[in-house]
């Protein structure tokens, strides 16, 4: 006859594992973090005391969270063509570093569940400086490439929404809504319709983008604080490179580059993508 306590432990494990498969891990591109929920139970027959049972369930939950984090981090897009997993397949060094990053995840919340289970929420930052995921997967350029510039005689058109040559803009918001789903990546590029890159990691201070990231992905203007109090808002005309990189009209691209010469908001990585 099956011990009723063992049966209860098996049933609890099935229920909690089913719940965890629905939650798994989430990549939050607004906060640039990867978060996972792990759940664990212990067979009551293995626990010497109730406290020991909680400890075993906690250990199982942490192991479950690590597994979900590893799966999630593998799927993160570094750029439009490459995932973290693809980079790990081609480099033992990157694989080792990514494994260490997963193991360095921090517990942001935890607690016992009714029925004897345990839940642990763990988090990894994608950016943040030395030994971060960004430093591991984003290449340091040999030289910083200057931003392209409009023609020497370019003067921005004066309109009701853009009333002066020097707008004093604090940042850039690229509105990608309504043209398809923007695929978030760690190293995005903004281009114009001719294919010219007007914003990419090779134009920027490498150490700064490793600490802060290249952009914020936001659902609406309330999440666009990175662009400052007076952002320049432009509408992307379409998405390129597997929907990872927004493309601007030639007119808007020239206007962005002209204004950046005045205010340097691109240099300051004050960029937000609405998606």
With 50 as the cut, is the pLDDT of residue 19 above it? Answer: no
Terminal-to-terminal C-alpha distance of the chain: 57
Percent of the chain with pLDDT over 70: 91
CB 52 within 8 A of CB 75: no
Q: Which position has the higher pLDDT, 151 or 10? A: 151
For 45-124, where are the alpha helices, taking DSSP H only?
50-74, 84-90, 92-103
**What is the rounded CA–CA span in Å between residue 224 and residue 212?**
15
For the chain, where are the alpha helices, taking DSSP H only?
4-23, 50-74, 84-90, 92-103, 133-137, 206-212, 250-263
Q: Where does the pLDDT of residue 250 fall: very low under 50, low under 70, confident under 90, or very high at 90 and above?
A: very high
Give the model confidence (pLDDT) of 97-108 as tens digits. 999 999 999 999
Helix axes 50-74, 92-103, angle to 10 degrees: 140
pTM, two decimal places: 0.85
With 50 as the cut, is the pLDDT of residue 9 above it? Answer: no
Return the DSSP state at 207.
H
Q: Where does the pLDDT of residue 157 fall: very low under 50, low under 70, confident under 90, or very high at 90 and above?
A: confident
Q: Where does the pLDDT of residue 23 fall: very low under 50, low under 70, confident under 90, or very high at 90 and above?
A: low
Q: What is the mean pLDDT of residues 205-222?
A: 96
With 60 as the cut, is the pLDDT of residue 2 above it? Answer: no
**What is the rounded CA–CA span in Å between residue 57 and residue 37?**
14
CB 111 within 8 A of CB 119: yes
């Amino acid at each position: 006859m099956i011990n009723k306590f063992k049966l209860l432990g098996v049933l609890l494990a099935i229920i909690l594992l089913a719940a965890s498969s629905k939650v798994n891990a989430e990549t939050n591109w607004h906060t640039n973090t990867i978060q996972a929920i792990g759940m664990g139970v212990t067979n009551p027959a293995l626990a010497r005391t109730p406290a020991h049972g909680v400890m075993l369930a906690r250990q199982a939950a942490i192991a479950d969270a690590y597994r979900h984090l590893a799966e999630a981090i593998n799927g993160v897009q570094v750029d439009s063509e490459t995932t973290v997993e693809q980079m790990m397949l081609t480099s033992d060094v990157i694989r080792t570093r990514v494994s260490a990053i997963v193991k360095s995840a921090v517990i942001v919340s935890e607690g016992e569940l009714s029925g004897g289970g345990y839940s642990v929420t763990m988090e990894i930052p994608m950016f943040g400086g030395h030994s971060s995921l960004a430093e591991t997967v984003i290449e340091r350029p040999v030289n910083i490439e200057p931003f392209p510039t409009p023609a020497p005689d370019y003067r921005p058109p004066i309109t009701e929404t853009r009333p002066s040559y020097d707008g004093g803009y604090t940042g850039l918001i690229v509105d990608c809504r309504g043209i398809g789903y923007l695929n978030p990546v760690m190293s995005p590029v903004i281009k114009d319709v001719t294919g010219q890159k007007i914003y990419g990691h090779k134009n920027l201070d490498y150490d700064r983008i490793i600490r802060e990231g290249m952009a914020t992905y936001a659902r609406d203007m309330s999440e666009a604080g990175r662009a400052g109090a007076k952002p320049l808002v432009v509408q992307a005309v379409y998405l390129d490179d597997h929907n990872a990189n927004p493309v601007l009209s030639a007119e808007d691209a020239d206007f962005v580059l002209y204004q950046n010469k005045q205010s340097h908001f691109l240099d300051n990585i004050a960029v937000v993508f609405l998606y």
